[in-house]
Amino acid sequence: MTASVAPLLNNPPIKPASDKLQHRPKRKRVVTRERILKSAEELFLAKGFAATTVQDIAVHAGYTTGAIYSSFGSKAHVLAEVVRRRTAVQRKVWETAVEPGQSPSEAAAAMGVALREATFEPEWYAALFEFFSYTARHPELREEMVGSLKDVNPLMVEVLGAVSASPPLPLERLASVVAALMRGLAWTWVVDPDATDVTLFSDAVAVLLGAGQQAVGGSSDQRRSAS
């Protein structure tokens, strides 16, 4: 064995790269996506979907536009991801909105509070208006957003089923009505903030659950003046 080869054979084997090094690119991608999403969300709230450009997001996040496209593909897909994340946060609010055994009137009042917590951000709903209009003209995004909307129904079935032993409609249909009412009121209040009144939602849910307005605690005017 030659002297030049022996040191190579006697050296300890080369160890594989540590997990830290192996996963660094993946973690870097995660950090990049998080910064892009945070910056995009801030801009969508401040300027809206249409007025925010990919260049705006890139500058605000400290990346190139290429990083935006390689991470998400388009501005619309960035907002679609923001929608998914915000929906997950809202879901947690609704999951704890009511407690099993509450009366329909108590549950209706609690759901009014949950609506305020989950949806009271006019700037977000204004951006969402724009995005839904955009997705209506783009089938690949429309299917994704339809799925997101439908995901709310099973959650509402759980919420309503916990407090309604004999609902006036099958729970699946009742959940669709309540979810539509929730969105309709929230979006109406974006356009007309002076009309904002969560007790209206509570009253409607109470009626749907068979409690009636008085069971919720009187008229909405009486409850607002007492609060």
pLDDT reported for residue 35: 96
185-210 pLDDT, tens per residue? 888 888 888 888 889 999 999 998 88
- Best mean pLDDT range from 15-19, 53-57, 80-84: 53-57
Question: CA angle, 209 as apex, 205 and 214 as ends, to 5°?
Answer: 70
Q: Please check whether the domain covering 17-73 is classified as CATH 1.10.10.60.
A: yes
In this prediction, residue 77 has a pLDDT band, given cuts at 50, 70 and 90, of very high
In the chain, CATH 1.10.10.60 sits at: 17-73
pLDDT reported for residue 64: 96
Q: Please check whether the domain covering 75-227 is classified as CATH 1.10.357.
A: yes
pLDDT reported for residue 50: 93
In angstroms, rounded to a whole number, what is the distance separating the alpha carbons of residues 209 and 198?
17
Under 8 Å between Cβ of 178 and 187? no
In the chain, CATH 1.10.357 sits at: 75-227
Under 8 Å between Cβ of 197 and 224? yes
The DSSP call for residue 66 is: H
pLDDT reported for residue 73: 94
pLDDT reported for residue 212: 55
Mean pLDDT of 61-66: 96
Residue 227 confidence (pLDDT) above 50: no
Helix (H, G, I), strand (E, B) or coil at 205: helix
24-45 pLDDT, tens per residue? 467 888 999 999 999 999 999 9
211-225 pLDDT, tens per residue? 654 444 444 444 443
Residue 173: Cβ within 10 Å count: 13
Helix (H) or strand (E) holding 85: helix 75-95
In angstroms, rounded to a whole number, what is the distance separating the alpha carbons of residues 30 and 40?
15
Q: b or e along 34-65 (b: 16 or more beta carbons within 10 Å of the residue's beta carbon)?
A: ebbbebbbebbbeebbeebebebbbebbebee
